[in-house]
Amino acid sequence: MFPTERPRRLRRTPALRRLVAETNLAPDDFVAPLFVAEGLGEAREISSLPGQFQHTVDSLRQEVKELVRVGVGGVILFGVPSTKDELGSGAWDPQGIAQLAIRALRDEFGDALVVMADLCLDEYTRHGHCGVLRTDGTVDNDATLELYGRVAVAQAEAGASVVAPSGMMDGQVGAIRGALDEAGFDETIIMAYAAKFASGLYGPFRDAVGVEIIEGGDRKGYQQDYRNRREALREARADVEQGADIVMVKPAMSYLDVVSDLRRELDVPLCAYHVSGEYAMVKAAAANGWIDGPAVALEQLTAVRRAGADFVLTYFAGELATELAR
């Protein structure tokens, strides 16, 4: 007679559970989104993102030093300018806040840290959209691509290892790859926001960067419809064909099926963005004593890795890297 199967034998002790775990998290699986703002005298906490700040260049440098110390794999920078215009020209200004911050980090950390730069115009435009607006208020896709190329070159010149186009314009990866190669930055990596959904989970982020859409409706005309799954794979394939080195799914937790689909179908590195609303919900519930915040965060980010992501962009990066070291 065969012995009774008892899978729980393998769960009996913490050491056994660690030994047979199928998915593990490590600090270098995390990329920390960070905000750097023009015109600040000191770092300012973002009320809807507890524990996150709009940084000065100096406070950013100190924050990143701590992230490096605890083993976080990389950072992605979002600039918050003091002035905006119709085209978002601050996004490609060599003296723009994002470029100044990138240079500061490269000077201090060199290749010991992966420095990524979000590539979009919405933080820099008066109207809050990710591209150039036509007179009827709609986004002009092709006119926007030329500006994305300028931004990519400015970020690469400043020292970004990775540029991350997030505007969801058709053809953006190809345009950016062409601009980078022409300017001699053929080693600069493109991480495409390949499956970026029109989500209700971005509110705290928009507070952090001071973005408000004041004309032209919303972004549902260019971000993906959350009801569609196959569309994400088409978008990601197109980005890879145009030269994307890494593809991203955003948000993370509501789109684990999409993460799994892309992992199965594509052979490039894959990441997911655990976005501001996902972070803020965990923080709010923990503050009310309803959940164990770090435990839930670890569970969620492990789920993202289990679904197939190679790494995760998360506001929990520093906190969980410290937790994992205990």
What distance in Å separates the CA atoms of residue 283 and residue 300, rounded to the nearest whole number?
Answer: 13
Bridging pattern class, strands 53-55 and 162-165:
unpaired
283 catalytically annotated: no
What distance in Å separates the CA atoms of residue 166 and residue 181, rounded to the nearest whole number?
Answer: 20
What distance in Å separates the CA atoms of residue 210 and residue 285, rounded to the nearest whole number?
Answer: 25
**Cα dihedral across residues 129, 130, 131, 134: positive or negative:** negative
| Secondary structure (DSSP) of 123-141 | TTBSS--SS-B-TTS-B-H
Question: Where is 250: in which H helix or E strand?
Answer: strand 246-250
What distance in Å separates the CA atoms of residue 111 and residue 19, rounded to the nearest whole number?
Answer: 32
Radius of gyration in angstroms for the set of CA atoms belonging to the chain, rounded to a whole number: 20
Please pick, among 65, 220, 250, 283, the residue that the annotation labels catalytic: 250
C-alpha distances in Å from residue 44, one per residue of 180, 191, 317: 34, 28, 19
110: three-class secondary structure by DSSP: helix
Angle, CA 213 vertex, CA 79 and CA 173 arms, to 5°: 55
Phi, then psi, of 291 in degrees rounded to 5: -140, 165
Please pick, among 84, 196, 220, 283, the residue that the annotation labels catalytic: 196
Amino acid at 28: D
- Enzyme catalytic residues: 196, 250
